[in-house]
Structure 1
Protein backbone atom coordinates (compact mmCIF):
# COMPACT_ATOMS: atom_id res chain seq x y z
CA UNK A 1 0.00 0.00 0.00
CA UNK A 2 1.71 3.17 -1.20
CA UNK A 3 1.00 6.49 0.45
CA UNK A 4 3.04 9.52 -0.46
CA UNK A 5 2.81 13.16 -1.41
CA UNK A 6 4.34 14.09 -4.77
CA UNK A 7 5.13 17.80 -4.77
CA UNK A 8 4.65 19.23 -8.26
CA UNK A 9 5.12 22.90 -7.40
CA UNK A 10 5.73 25.12 -4.39
CA UNK A 11 5.40 28.72 -5.58
CA UNK A 12 2.61 31.06 -4.61
CA UNK A 13 1.33 33.80 -6.92
CA UNK A 14 4.39 33.98 -9.17
CA UNK A 15 6.54 30.98 -10.19
CA UNK A 16 10.31 31.34 -10.04
CA UNK A 17 13.26 29.68 -11.75
CA UNK A 18 13.24 26.95 -9.11
CA UNK A 19 9.56 26.84 -8.09
CA UNK A 20 6.64 25.95 -10.32
CA UNK A 21 3.14 27.05 -9.46
CA UNK A 22 1.32 24.95 -6.86
CA UNK A 23 0.49 21.31 -7.46
CA UNK A 24 0.36 18.25 -5.19
CA UNK A 25 -0.57 14.66 -5.92
CA UNK A 26 -1.47 12.50 -2.94
CA UNK A 27 -1.05 8.80 -3.73
CA UNK A 28 -3.29 7.01 -1.27
CA UNK A 29 -3.48 3.24 -1.43
CA UNK A 30 -6.44 1.56 0.23
CA UNK A 31 -5.89 -0.60 3.28
CA UNK A 32 -7.82 -3.78 3.96
CA UNK A 33 -10.92 -2.58 5.78
CA UNK A 34 -12.64 -4.78 8.31
CA UNK A 35 -14.55 -4.24 11.52
CA UNK A 36 -15.84 -0.70 11.90
CA UNK A 37 -14.31 0.28 8.56
CA UNK A 38 -16.89 -1.72 6.67
CA UNK A 39 -19.54 0.94 7.22
CA UNK A 40 -17.64 3.35 4.97
CA UNK A 41 -17.08 1.02 2.02
CA UNK A 42 -20.37 1.57 0.18
CA UNK A 43 -20.86 3.55 -3.01
CA UNK A 44 -21.51 7.22 -2.31
CA UNK A 45 -21.38 10.51 -4.22
CA UNK A 46 -17.96 10.89 -5.81
CA UNK A 47 -16.79 7.36 -5.13
CA UNK A 48 -13.71 6.43 -7.15
CA UNK A 49 -14.42 2.70 -6.76
CA UNK A 50 -10.75 1.81 -6.97
CA UNK A 51 -8.15 0.16 -4.74
CA UNK A 52 -5.95 3.24 -4.81
CA UNK A 53 -6.45 6.93 -5.35
CA UNK A 54 -4.56 9.89 -6.71
CA UNK A 55 -5.84 13.19 -5.33
CA UNK A 56 -4.51 16.16 -7.30
CA UNK A 57 -4.67 19.30 -5.18
CA UNK A 58 -4.56 22.85 -6.56
CA UNK A 59 -2.91 22.27 -9.95
CA UNK A 60 -1.41 25.61 -10.95
CA UNK A 61 0.08 26.58 -14.28
CA UNK A 62 2.51 24.00 -15.64
CA UNK A 63 1.18 21.07 -13.61
CA UNK A 64 0.88 18.74 -16.62
CA UNK A 65 4.58 19.20 -17.40
CA UNK A 66 5.57 18.76 -13.76
CA UNK A 67 3.66 15.47 -13.74
CA UNK A 68 5.83 14.30 -16.62
CA UNK A 69 9.00 15.23 -14.74
CA UNK A 70 7.69 13.40 -11.67
CA UNK A 71 6.74 10.29 -13.65
CA UNK A 72 3.04 10.69 -12.85
CA UNK A 73 0.64 9.54 -15.59
CA UNK A 74 -2.73 11.23 -16.03
CA UNK A 75 -4.33 7.88 -15.22
CA UNK A 76 -3.01 8.20 -11.66
CA UNK A 77 -5.49 11.01 -10.98
CA UNK A 78 -8.84 9.99 -9.48
CA UNK A 79 -9.82 13.33 -7.94
CA UNK A 80 -9.04 16.98 -8.58
CA UNK A 81 -9.45 19.12 -5.45
CA UNK A 82 -9.36 22.92 -5.69
CA UNK A 83 -9.26 25.07 -2.58
CA UNK A 84 -10.21 28.27 -4.44
CA UNK A 85 -10.13 29.95 -7.82
CA UNK A 86 -6.96 32.03 -7.75
CA UNK A 87 -4.77 31.27 -10.75
CA UNK A 88 -1.83 29.74 -8.93
CA UNK A 89 -4.23 27.08 -7.64
CA UNK A 90 -6.19 26.24 -10.79
CA UNK A 91 -4.53 27.42 -14.03
CA UNK A 92 -3.22 23.88 -14.58
CA UNK A 93 -6.75 22.48 -14.81
CA UNK A 94 -7.11 22.89 -18.63
CA UNK A 95 -3.96 20.91 -19.40
CA UNK A 96 -4.69 18.18 -16.89
CA UNK A 97 -8.32 17.80 -17.96
CA UNK A 98 -7.43 17.64 -21.64
CA UNK A 99 -4.68 15.12 -20.90
CA UNK A 100 -7.24 12.86 -19.23
CA UNK A 101 -9.08 12.70 -22.56
CA UNK A 102 -5.95 12.45 -24.67
CA UNK A 103 -4.78 9.44 -22.66
CA UNK A 104 -8.24 7.84 -22.59
CA UNK A 105 -8.18 7.53 -18.83
CA UNK A 106 -10.72 4.73 -18.23
CA UNK A 107 -12.02 5.61 -14.77
CA UNK A 108 -14.17 8.55 -13.66
CA UNK A 109 -12.29 11.55 -12.27
CA UNK A 110 -14.13 13.61 -9.68
CA UNK A 111 -13.58 17.36 -9.44
CA UNK A 112 -14.23 19.16 -6.15
CA UNK A 113 -14.27 22.97 -5.94
CA UNK A 114 -16.16 25.84 -4.28
CA UNK A 115 -19.59 26.28 -5.84
CA UNK A 116 -19.00 30.02 -6.13
CA UNK A 117 -16.25 29.19 -8.64
CA UNK A 118 -18.50 27.19 -10.98
CA UNK A 119 -18.20 29.72 -13.81
CA UNK A 120 -14.42 29.76 -13.51
CA UNK A 121 -14.22 25.96 -13.44
CA UNK A 122 -16.38 25.69 -16.55
CA UNK A 123 -14.10 28.14 -18.35
CA UNK A 124 -11.04 26.18 -17.26
CA UNK A 125 -12.56 22.87 -18.30
CA UNK A 126 -13.45 24.18 -21.76
CA UNK A 127 -10.64 26.71 -22.17
CA UNK A 128 -9.93 25.45 -25.70
CA UNK A 129 -11.44 23.11 -28.23
CA UNK A 130 -10.63 19.42 -27.71
CA UNK A 131 -12.25 16.02 -28.02
CA UNK A 132 -13.72 15.33 -24.61
CA UNK A 133 -13.48 11.63 -23.84
CA UNK A 134 -12.71 11.52 -20.13
CA UNK A 135 -15.48 11.02 -17.58
CA UNK A 136 -15.00 14.14 -15.45
CA UNK A 137 -17.67 14.51 -12.77
CA UNK A 138 -18.09 17.87 -11.06
CA UNK A 139 -18.91 18.13 -7.33
CA UNK A 140 -19.11 21.81 -6.30
CA UNK A 141 -19.53 22.44 -2.58
CA UNK A 142 -20.74 25.48 -0.65
CA UNK A 143 -20.52 24.45 3.02
CA UNK A 144 -18.46 22.47 5.51
CA UNK A 145 -18.89 18.71 5.54
CA UNK A 146 -18.30 15.46 3.68
CA UNK A 147 -17.97 15.76 -0.10
CA UNK A 148 -17.06 12.14 -0.93
CA UNK A 149 -16.85 8.74 0.72
CA UNK A 150 -15.37 5.56 -0.76
CA UNK A 151 -13.12 2.65 0.15
CA UNK A 152 -10.18 5.04 0.59
CA UNK A 153 -11.89 7.08 3.27
CA UNK A 154 -14.00 10.19 3.79
CA UNK A 155 -13.11 13.47 2.08
CA UNK A 156 -14.25 16.51 4.03
CA UNK A 157 -13.99 20.26 3.48
CA UNK A 158 -13.83 23.19 5.91
CA UNK A 159 -14.21 26.86 5.07
CA UNK A 160 -11.06 28.98 5.21
CA UNK A 161 -10.57 32.76 5.40
CA UNK A 162 -9.26 34.34 2.19
CA UNK A 163 -10.34 37.27 -0.03
CA UNK A 164 -12.22 34.75 -2.23
CA UNK A 165 -14.21 31.76 -1.03
CA UNK A 166 -11.83 28.97 -0.07
CA UNK A 167 -12.05 25.52 1.50
CA UNK A 168 -9.40 23.16 2.83
CA UNK A 169 -9.56 19.37 2.53
CA UNK A 170 -9.24 16.52 5.01
CA UNK A 171 -9.04 12.84 4.01
CA UNK A 172 -9.94 10.48 6.86
CA UNK A 173 -9.39 6.75 6.60
CA UNK A 174 -11.92 4.73 8.63
CA UNK A 175 -10.65 2.81 11.62
CA UNK A 176 -10.25 -0.91 11.02
CA UNK A 177 -8.45 -3.92 12.41
CA UNK A 178 -4.96 -5.32 11.91
CA UNK A 179 -4.72 -9.10 11.68
CA UNK A 180 -2.23 -10.78 14.04
CA UNK A 181 -0.44 -13.66 12.25
CA UNK A 182 0.63 -15.46 15.45
CA UNK A 183 -2.89 -15.33 16.90
CA UNK A 184 -4.33 -16.58 13.61
CA UNK A 185 -1.85 -19.48 13.58
CA UNK A 186 -2.75 -20.47 17.14
CA UNK A 187 -6.42 -20.45 16.17
CA UNK A 188 -5.69 -22.56 13.08
CA UNK A 189 -7.12 -20.00 10.67
CA UNK A 190 -5.15 -19.63 7.44
CA UNK A 191 -5.56 -18.77 3.78
CA UNK A 192 -9.07 -17.92 2.51
CA UNK A 193 -10.52 -18.61 5.95
CA UNK A 194 -8.95 -15.36 7.18
CA UNK A 195 -11.12 -13.42 4.71
CA UNK A 196 -14.13 -15.41 5.84
CA UNK A 197 -13.44 -14.49 9.46
CA UNK A 198 -13.06 -10.83 8.50
CA UNK A 199 -16.37 -10.89 6.67
CA UNK A 200 -18.35 -12.78 9.32
CA UNK A 201 -16.71 -11.51 12.50
CA UNK A 202 -16.60 -15.04 13.94
CA UNK A 203 -15.50 -18.41 12.59
CA UNK A 204 -15.45 -21.82 14.32
CA UNK A 205 -15.83 -20.15 17.69
CA UNK A 206 -13.00 -17.68 17.07
CA UNK A 207 -14.00 -14.01 17.24
CA UNK A 208 -12.30 -11.43 15.05
CA UNK A 209 -11.30 -9.39 18.10
CA UNK A 210 -9.27 -12.35 19.41
CA UNK A 211 -6.94 -12.50 16.41
CA UNK A 212 -6.71 -8.83 15.47
CA UNK A 213 -5.96 -5.41 16.97
CA UNK A 214 -7.50 -1.98 16.37
CA UNK A 215 -5.99 -0.11 13.42
CA UNK A 216 -6.55 3.65 13.63
CA UNK A 217 -7.27 5.26 10.28
CA UNK A 218 -4.80 7.76 8.90
CA UNK A 219 -5.59 11.43 8.28
CA UNK A 220 -4.28 13.79 5.59
CA UNK A 221 -5.02 17.52 5.66
CA UNK A 222 -4.51 20.16 2.99
CA UNK A 223 -4.69 23.86 3.92
CA UNK A 224 -3.97 26.64 1.46
CA UNK A 225 -4.46 30.41 1.26
CA UNK A 226 -6.02 31.46 4.55
CA UNK A 227 -5.65 33.50 7.68
CA UNK A 228 -5.84 31.66 10.98
CA UNK A 229 -9.43 30.55 11.52
CA UNK A 230 -11.43 27.70 13.04
CA UNK A 231 -11.35 25.78 9.76
CA UNK A 232 -7.55 25.55 9.82
CA UNK A 233 -7.56 23.84 13.22
CA UNK A 234 -10.46 21.55 12.34
CA UNK A 235 -8.64 20.33 9.25
CA UNK A 236 -5.27 19.85 10.97
CA UNK A 237 -6.56 18.11 14.10
CA UNK A 238 -4.60 14.89 14.66
CA UNK A 239 -3.40 14.72 11.05
CA UNK A 240 -0.70 12.22 10.15
CA UNK A 241 0.36 14.66 7.42
CA UNK A 242 -0.53 18.35 7.12
CA UNK A 243 0.31 20.19 3.90
CA UNK A 244 -0.08 23.88 4.66
CA UNK A 245 0.79 27.20 3.14
CA UNK A 246 3.61 29.26 4.61
CA UNK A 247 3.58 32.09 2.11
CA UNK A 248 5.39 34.56 4.39
CA UNK A 249 7.95 34.60 7.16
CA UNK A 250 6.75 36.05 10.43
CA UNK A 251 8.71 39.26 9.92
CA UNK A 252 6.09 39.99 7.26
CA UNK A 253 3.08 38.94 9.33
CA UNK A 254 1.24 42.17 8.57
CA UNK A 255 1.45 41.43 4.85
CA UNK A 256 0.33 37.85 5.42
CA UNK A 257 -2.76 38.90 7.32
CA UNK A 258 -3.62 41.70 4.88
CA UNK A 259 -3.63 39.28 1.94
CA UNK A 260 -5.20 36.32 3.73
CA UNK A 261 -2.16 34.10 4.28
CA UNK A 262 -0.16 32.35 6.99
CA UNK A 263 3.42 32.72 8.12
CA UNK A 264 5.70 29.75 8.64
CA UNK A 265 5.53 30.25 12.40
CA UNK A 266 1.74 30.33 12.39
CA UNK A 267 1.53 27.18 10.27
CA UNK A 268 3.96 25.37 12.55
CA UNK A 269 2.10 26.50 15.67
CA UNK A 270 -1.11 25.04 14.23
CA UNK A 271 0.69 21.74 13.65
CA UNK A 272 2.03 21.73 17.21
CA UNK A 273 -1.37 22.58 18.74
CA UNK A 274 -3.17 19.94 16.65
CA UNK A 275 -0.76 17.04 17.21
CA UNK A 276 0.34 16.78 13.58
CA UNK A 277 2.95 14.09 12.89
CA UNK A 278 4.45 15.31 9.60
CA UNK A 279 4.28 18.99 8.67
CA UNK A 280 4.87 20.00 5.04
CA UNK A 281 5.34 23.74 4.46
CA UNK A 282 4.82 25.10 0.94
CA UNK A 283 3.34 27.93 -1.23
CA UNK A 284 6.28 30.28 -0.77
CA UNK A 285 6.37 33.91 -1.86
CA UNK A 286 8.91 34.77 -4.54
CA UNK A 287 10.40 37.36 -2.17
CA UNK A 288 12.19 34.58 -0.26
CA UNK A 289 15.11 32.67 -1.79
CA UNK A 290 16.40 30.81 1.29
CA UNK A 291 14.17 27.82 2.19
CA UNK A 292 16.15 27.19 5.37
CA UNK A 293 14.62 30.34 6.86
CA UNK A 294 11.19 28.69 6.79
CA UNK A 295 12.58 25.61 8.53
CA UNK A 296 14.31 27.65 11.21
CA UNK A 297 11.17 29.65 11.96
CA UNK A 298 8.96 26.55 12.08
CA UNK A 299 11.39 24.75 14.40
CA UNK A 300 10.89 27.46 17.01
CA UNK A 301 7.41 26.09 17.73
CA UNK A 302 7.13 22.59 16.16
CA UNK A 303 9.13 19.56 17.19
CA UNK A 304 7.72 16.88 14.89
CA UNK A 305 8.80 15.80 11.44
CA UNK A 306 9.20 18.93 9.32
CA UNK A 307 9.50 19.16 5.54
CA UNK A 308 10.09 22.39 3.63
CA UNK A 309 8.71 21.33 0.27
CA UNK A 310 10.71 21.49 -2.94
CA UNK A 311 9.48 20.89 -6.48
CA UNK A 312 9.38 17.19 -7.45
CA UNK A 313 10.02 16.06 -3.90
CA UNK A 314 8.27 12.90 -2.68
CA UNK A 315 7.21 12.84 0.95
CA UNK A 316 6.03 9.51 2.41
CA UNK A 317 3.01 9.52 4.67
CA UNK A 318 4.40 8.48 8.08
CA UNK A 319 3.98 4.84 9.12
CA UNK A 320 0.70 3.89 10.67
CA UNK A 321 0.35 4.36 14.41
CA UNK A 322 0.32 1.06 16.31
CA UNK A 323 -2.28 0.91 19.06
CA UNK A 324 -0.62 1.12 22.45
CA UNK A 325 2.37 3.09 21.20
CA UNK A 326 2.65 6.90 21.34
CA UNK A 327 2.03 8.93 18.20
Structure 2
Protein backbone atom coordinates (compact mmCIF):
# COMPACT_ATOMS: atom_id res chain seq x y z
CA UNK A 1 0.00 0.00 0.00
CA UNK A 2 1.27 3.46 -0.90
CA UNK A 3 0.37 5.94 1.80
CA UNK A 4 1.58 9.53 2.08
CA UNK A 5 4.68 8.80 0.06
CA UNK A 6 5.65 5.61 1.90
CA UNK A 7 5.25 1.95 0.97
CA UNK A 8 3.61 -0.54 3.34
CA UNK A 9 4.03 -4.26 2.73
CA UNK A 10 1.47 -6.25 4.69
CA UNK A 11 1.88 -9.98 5.33
CA UNK A 12 4.60 -10.95 2.84
CA UNK A 13 3.70 -14.58 2.14
CA UNK A 14 5.69 -17.03 0.05
CA UNK A 15 6.71 -15.53 -3.30
CA UNK A 16 6.36 -11.88 -2.23
CA UNK A 17 9.73 -10.85 -3.68
CA UNK A 18 8.69 -12.27 -7.06
CA UNK A 19 5.33 -10.52 -6.88
CA UNK A 20 7.03 -7.21 -6.19
CA UNK A 21 8.97 -7.61 -9.43
CA UNK A 22 5.80 -8.46 -11.37
CA UNK A 23 4.13 -5.39 -9.88
CA UNK A 24 6.99 -3.20 -11.07
CA UNK A 25 8.05 -2.29 -7.53
CA UNK A 26 11.50 -2.22 -5.97
CA UNK A 27 12.74 -2.71 -2.44
CA UNK A 28 13.60 0.99 -2.25
CA UNK A 29 9.85 1.73 -2.31
CA UNK A 30 9.30 -0.15 0.95
CA UNK A 31 9.25 1.71 4.26
CA UNK A 32 7.20 -0.67 6.41
CA UNK A 33 6.87 -4.47 6.70
CA UNK A 34 3.77 -5.34 8.72
CA UNK A 35 3.09 -8.94 9.74
CA UNK A 36 -0.31 -9.70 11.27
CA UNK A 37 0.69 -13.13 12.65
CA UNK A 38 3.13 -15.94 12.06
CA UNK A 39 1.15 -18.51 10.11
CA UNK A 40 3.22 -19.34 7.04
CA UNK A 41 0.94 -17.86 4.41
CA UNK A 42 1.41 -14.48 6.07
CA UNK A 43 5.15 -14.45 6.66
CA UNK A 44 7.16 -16.96 4.61
CA UNK A 45 8.13 -14.21 2.15
CA UNK A 46 9.99 -12.27 4.86
CA UNK A 47 13.43 -13.84 4.15
CA UNK A 48 13.37 -12.83 0.48
CA UNK A 49 12.15 -9.30 1.22
CA UNK A 50 14.72 -8.75 3.97
CA UNK A 51 17.59 -10.04 1.85
CA UNK A 52 16.47 -7.98 -1.15
CA UNK A 53 16.44 -4.81 0.98
CA UNK A 54 19.94 -5.68 2.20
CA UNK A 55 21.27 -6.58 -1.24
CA UNK A 56 19.87 -3.42 -2.81
CA UNK A 57 21.46 -1.37 -0.03
CA UNK A 58 18.28 0.53 0.73
CA UNK A 59 19.39 3.58 2.71
CA UNK A 60 16.20 4.73 4.42
CA UNK A 61 14.73 3.09 7.52
CA UNK A 62 12.33 0.19 6.97
CA UNK A 63 10.20 -0.48 10.05
CA UNK A 64 9.24 -4.10 10.71
CA UNK A 65 6.08 -4.47 12.81
CA UNK A 66 4.91 -7.85 14.09
CA UNK A 67 3.46 -9.54 17.20
CA UNK A 68 6.04 -9.58 19.99
CA UNK A 69 4.93 -13.09 20.93
CA UNK A 70 6.35 -14.26 17.59
CA UNK A 71 9.82 -12.81 18.08
CA UNK A 72 11.41 -16.25 17.77
CA UNK A 73 9.72 -16.79 14.39
CA UNK A 74 10.72 -13.31 13.21
CA UNK A 75 14.34 -14.03 14.12
CA UNK A 76 14.27 -17.28 12.17
CA UNK A 77 12.72 -15.61 9.13
CA UNK A 78 15.06 -12.62 9.16
CA UNK A 79 18.10 -14.88 9.41
CA UNK A 80 16.83 -17.80 7.33
CA UNK A 81 19.98 -17.89 5.14
CA UNK A 82 23.52 -16.60 5.03
CA UNK A 83 23.65 -12.94 3.92
CA UNK A 84 25.02 -9.62 5.06
CA UNK A 85 22.26 -8.16 7.25
CA UNK A 86 21.33 -4.50 7.24
CA UNK A 87 20.68 -2.04 10.06
CA UNK A 88 18.19 -0.31 7.78
CA UNK A 89 15.45 -2.68 8.99
CA UNK A 90 14.40 -1.71 12.50
CA UNK A 91 12.24 -4.03 14.58
CA UNK A 92 9.05 -2.83 16.30
CA UNK A 93 7.31 -5.79 17.98
CA UNK A 94 3.82 -4.97 19.26
CA UNK A 95 2.05 -6.36 22.31
CA UNK A 96 -1.04 -5.70 24.39
CA UNK A 97 -4.46 -4.83 23.07
CA UNK A 98 -3.34 -1.76 21.13
CA UNK A 99 -0.03 -0.35 19.91
CA UNK A 100 0.60 2.86 17.99
CA UNK A 101 3.46 3.75 15.66
CA UNK A 102 2.05 6.79 13.81
CA UNK A 103 0.48 6.73 11.33
CA UNK A 104 -0.02 3.01 12.07
CA UNK A 105 -2.17 1.53 14.83
CA UNK A 106 -2.19 -2.19 15.63
CA UNK A 107 -5.02 -3.92 17.50
CA UNK A 108 -5.16 -7.49 18.72
CA UNK A 109 -7.65 -9.74 16.94
CA UNK A 110 -9.22 -13.15 17.67
CA UNK A 111 -7.33 -16.03 16.07
CA UNK A 112 -5.82 -19.32 17.34
CA UNK A 113 -2.40 -17.63 17.36
CA UNK A 114 -1.82 -14.01 18.36
CA UNK A 115 -2.81 -11.82 15.44
CA UNK A 116 -3.03 -8.05 14.92
CA UNK A 117 -4.95 -5.88 12.48
CA UNK A 118 -3.56 -2.58 11.26
CA UNK A 119 -5.03 0.85 10.57
CA UNK A 120 -3.42 3.78 8.75
CA UNK A 121 -4.74 7.17 9.76
CA UNK A 122 -3.95 10.50 8.13
CA UNK A 123 -4.13 13.51 10.46
CA UNK A 124 -7.23 15.67 10.17
CA UNK A 125 -6.77 18.87 8.22
CA UNK A 126 -8.75 21.70 6.71
CA UNK A 127 -10.09 22.22 3.20
CA UNK A 128 -9.55 25.73 1.87
CA UNK A 129 -12.58 27.42 0.31
CA UNK A 130 -11.58 29.53 -2.75
CA UNK A 131 -14.65 31.77 -2.59
CA UNK A 132 -13.94 32.73 1.02
CA UNK A 133 -10.28 33.30 0.29
CA UNK A 134 -11.25 35.68 -2.51
CA UNK A 135 -13.78 37.43 -0.27
CA UNK A 136 -11.06 38.18 2.30
CA UNK A 137 -8.41 39.07 -0.28
CA UNK A 138 -6.14 36.10 0.46
CA UNK A 139 -4.28 35.07 -2.69
CA UNK A 140 -1.04 33.49 -3.87
CA UNK A 141 1.65 32.87 -1.22
CA UNK A 142 -0.60 34.37 1.45
CA UNK A 143 -2.75 31.23 1.34
CA UNK A 144 0.16 29.15 2.64
CA UNK A 145 0.95 31.77 5.28
CA UNK A 146 -2.64 31.57 6.48
CA UNK A 147 -2.48 27.76 6.59
CA UNK A 148 0.78 27.77 8.53
CA UNK A 149 0.15 30.70 10.86
CA UNK A 150 -3.59 30.32 11.38
CA UNK A 151 -4.29 34.03 10.86
CA UNK A 152 -3.28 36.83 8.51
CA UNK A 153 -4.31 40.52 8.54
CA UNK A 154 -7.23 39.79 10.84
CA UNK A 155 -8.43 36.82 8.77
CA UNK A 156 -8.41 33.44 10.55
CA UNK A 157 -7.97 30.02 9.00
CA UNK A 158 -11.44 29.05 10.22
CA UNK A 159 -12.96 31.91 8.22
CA UNK A 160 -11.60 30.47 4.95
CA UNK A 161 -11.77 26.72 5.43
CA UNK A 162 -13.77 23.80 6.77
CA UNK A 163 -12.58 20.70 8.66
CA UNK A 164 -11.33 17.82 6.49
CA UNK A 165 -11.12 14.44 8.22
CA UNK A 166 -7.90 12.59 7.44
CA UNK A 167 -8.18 9.56 5.20
CA UNK A 168 -7.85 6.09 6.67
CA UNK A 169 -7.38 2.48 5.65
CA UNK A 170 -7.54 -0.80 7.56
CA UNK A 171 -5.87 -4.14 6.86
CA UNK A 172 -7.60 -6.95 8.77
CA UNK A 173 -6.51 -10.53 8.24
CA UNK A 174 -7.15 -13.76 10.11
CA UNK A 175 -9.73 -13.22 12.85
CA UNK A 176 -13.17 -14.00 14.14
CA UNK A 177 -15.60 -11.14 14.58
CA UNK A 178 -14.51 -9.16 17.65
CA UNK A 179 -14.68 -5.62 18.96
CA UNK A 180 -11.27 -4.61 17.60
CA UNK A 181 -12.28 -5.58 14.06
CA UNK A 182 -14.98 -2.91 14.16
CA UNK A 183 -12.69 -0.41 15.89
CA UNK A 184 -10.04 -0.78 13.21
CA UNK A 185 -12.60 -0.44 10.43
CA UNK A 186 -14.50 2.50 11.92
CA UNK A 187 -15.16 5.06 9.18
CA UNK A 188 -12.27 3.95 6.96
CA UNK A 189 -12.07 4.95 3.33
CA UNK A 190 -10.56 1.57 2.40
CA UNK A 191 -11.16 -1.71 4.21
CA UNK A 192 -9.02 -4.66 3.12
CA UNK A 193 -10.33 -7.65 5.02
CA UNK A 194 -10.17 -11.42 4.95
CA UNK A 195 -13.20 -13.37 3.76
CA UNK A 196 -11.83 -16.89 3.88
CA UNK A 197 -15.19 -18.65 3.62
CA UNK A 198 -18.66 -18.30 2.18
CA UNK A 199 -21.61 -18.25 4.56
CA UNK A 200 -22.31 -21.98 4.13
CA UNK A 201 -19.09 -22.58 6.08
CA UNK A 202 -19.81 -20.04 8.84
CA UNK A 203 -19.37 -22.59 11.64
CA UNK A 204 -16.02 -23.70 10.20
CA UNK A 205 -14.91 -20.07 9.89
CA UNK A 206 -15.65 -19.41 13.54
CA UNK A 207 -13.92 -22.60 14.68
CA UNK A 208 -10.73 -21.72 12.79
CA UNK A 209 -10.77 -18.01 13.59
CA UNK A 210 -11.81 -16.62 10.21
CA UNK A 211 -14.51 -14.49 8.58
CA UNK A 212 -17.02 -15.17 5.84
CA UNK A 213 -17.84 -12.75 3.03
CA UNK A 214 -21.02 -11.85 4.92
CA UNK A 215 -19.00 -11.17 8.08
CA UNK A 216 -16.64 -8.90 6.18
CA UNK A 217 -19.57 -7.04 4.64
CA UNK A 218 -21.19 -6.65 8.05
CA UNK A 219 -18.01 -5.07 9.36
CA UNK A 220 -17.98 -2.66 6.40
CA UNK A 221 -21.64 -1.78 6.88
CA UNK A 222 -21.60 -1.23 10.64
CA UNK A 223 -18.28 0.61 10.53
CA UNK A 224 -19.25 2.96 7.70
CA UNK A 225 -16.41 1.92 5.40
CA UNK A 226 -16.44 3.49 1.96
CA UNK A 227 -14.74 0.76 -0.09
CA UNK A 228 -14.59 -2.94 0.81
CA UNK A 229 -11.88 -5.23 -0.56
CA UNK A 230 -12.37 -8.96 0.05
CA UNK A 231 -9.27 -11.14 0.10
CA UNK A 232 -7.67 -14.28 1.65
CA UNK A 233 -9.98 -16.86 0.12
CA UNK A 234 -9.80 -20.53 1.08
CA UNK A 235 -8.15 -22.79 -1.48
CA UNK A 236 -11.39 -24.79 -1.63
CA UNK A 237 -12.86 -22.05 -3.83
CA UNK A 238 -11.90 -21.50 -7.45
CA UNK A 239 -12.18 -18.36 -9.55
CA UNK A 240 -15.73 -19.38 -10.41
CA UNK A 241 -16.69 -18.62 -6.79
CA UNK A 242 -15.79 -14.92 -7.11
CA UNK A 243 -19.36 -13.91 -8.09
CA UNK A 244 -20.70 -15.74 -5.04
CA UNK A 245 -18.34 -13.85 -2.69
CA UNK A 246 -19.42 -10.63 -4.35
CA UNK A 247 -23.11 -11.52 -4.12
CA UNK A 248 -22.92 -12.42 -0.44
CA UNK A 249 -21.09 -9.20 0.40
CA UNK A 250 -23.41 -6.98 -1.62
CA UNK A 251 -26.43 -8.52 0.07
CA UNK A 252 -25.19 -6.90 3.30
CA UNK A 253 -23.12 -3.88 2.24
CA UNK A 254 -24.39 -1.45 -0.39
CA UNK A 255 -21.09 0.36 -0.84
CA UNK A 256 -18.25 -0.34 -3.25
CA UNK A 257 -17.13 -4.01 -3.08
CA UNK A 258 -14.04 -5.46 -4.78
CA UNK A 259 -12.95 -9.10 -4.89
CA UNK A 260 -9.15 -8.93 -4.87
CA UNK A 261 -6.85 -10.74 -7.27
CA UNK A 262 -3.07 -10.94 -7.45
CA UNK A 263 -1.40 -7.76 -8.75
CA UNK A 264 -4.68 -5.85 -8.77
CA UNK A 265 -4.43 -2.10 -8.10
CA UNK A 266 -7.10 -0.63 -5.84
CA UNK A 267 -7.33 3.09 -5.18
CA UNK A 268 -8.13 4.63 -1.83
CA UNK A 269 -11.34 6.52 -2.69
CA UNK A 270 -10.96 10.27 -2.71
CA UNK A 271 -12.91 12.29 -0.21
CA UNK A 272 -15.86 14.27 -1.66
For the superposition of Structure 1 and Structure 2, which TM-score range results when normalised by the shorter chain? over 0.9
SS in structure 1 at match of 2:211: coil
Corresponding position: 1:179 with 2:128: yes
Counterparts in 2 of 1:100-249, with a 5 A limit? 100-133=53-86, 135-149=88-102, 154-249=103-198
Using the TM superposition, give the Cα deviation of residue 203 of structure 1 relative to its aligned residue in structure 2, in angstroms.
Answer: 0.9
* Higher RCO structure (Cα 8 Å, ≥6 apart): 1
Q: TM-score w.r.t. structure 1 length?
A: 0.80
Aligned with residue 19 of structure 2, among 46, 66, 72: 66
Let me know the Cα RMSD of the aligned residues. 1.3
Corresponding position: 1:283 with 2:236: no
Q: Distance in 2 between matches of 1:164 and 1:264?
A: 22
Counterparts in 2 of 1:1-80, with a 5 A limit? 26-29=1-4, 52-80=5-33
Matched with 1:306 is 257
Q: Distance in 1 between matches of 2:65 and 2:86?
A: 19
Using the TM superposition, give the Cα deviation of residue 134 of structure 1 relative to its aligned residue in structure 2, in angstroms.
Answer: 5.1
SS in structure 1 at match of 2:120: strand
Gaps of 5+ in 2: none
Q: TM-score w.r.t. structure 2 length?
A: 0.95
Deviation string 1:7-49 (CA, Å, 9 cap, x unpaired) is xxxxxxxxxxxxxxxxxxx1112xxxxxxxxxxxxxxxxxxxx
Q: Distance in 2 between matches of 1:72 and 1:187?
A: 46
Gaps of 5+ in 1: 1-25, 30-51, 322-327
Structure 1 consecutive aligned stretches of length 4 or more whose deviation exceeds 6 Å: none
Deviation string 1:119-175 (CA, Å, 9 cap, x unpaired) is 1111111111112235111110111334212xxxx3111111111000101111111
